[in-house]
Amino acid sequence: MLSHILSRFRRDQRGTALVEMALIAPLMLLLSAGVFEFGNLIHKKLLMEAGLDDGARFAARCNSALYTSAGLTIDCADVAANIAVFGNAAGTGNPRVAGWAKSNVTITIAASGSCHDAVVAGVTLYRSTTSQVCIVRAAGTYAYAGVGMLSLLGISPITLTDFHEERFTRF
């Protein structure tokens, strides 16, 4: 009698899908949440990189002497930081990345030590009409706090950092 019941129990397939689902679903949910979180992190990093690229490009081409001679006052580094964070020169609207601020961006226009000889020992390093080429650097950080379920694993907020450099085109 007992062997007959055990034999019947082993052959019975009803409910196996429910048991398999109960075993696999938590793992799949964790993996899916991780994929979405990682995608969000990469998206914010790419938005930050695009902003720093735009800010450095503007700063490399901004000529405050032109604006001064026209009777305007412009701080190229400040406007470049606005462009990096907000995507516009006025610094209005929402930032490219929610929570990113101008205080997280540093624009350095031709600082000492950022100028290099265009030609060294007869080798042309930069295509330039001047003897020296200077660099504009846009650097930024962003504290990514959206680690979601990863905080259960002890992963704290992640700080994204990036920079972009452009050649300085005015003298």
Q: Can you tell me which residue has the tokens 């600082």?
A: 111
Nearest of 65, 41, 48, 42 to residue 138 by alpha carbon: 48
Using CA atoms, how far residue 36 sits from 41, 50, 100, 155, in Å, is 9, 21, 21, 16
Strands (E), the chain: 105-109, 115-117, 119-120, 123-124, 132-144, 158-168
CA atoms of 152 and 154, how far apart (whole Å): 5
- What pTM was estimated for this model as a whole? 0.75
The answer to whether 121 and 106 are in contact (CB under 8 A) is: no
In order along its 171 residues, the chain shows pLDDT tens digits of 788 887 877 777 777 888 889 999 999 988 888 888 889 889 999 999 999 999 999 998 887 666 666 667 788 899 999 999 999 999 999 999 999 999 999 999 876 566 766 666 666 666 666 667 778 899 999 998 776 666 777 777 789 999 998 887 554
For residues 81 and 55, give the distance between their C-alpha atoms in angstroms, rounded to a whole number: 6
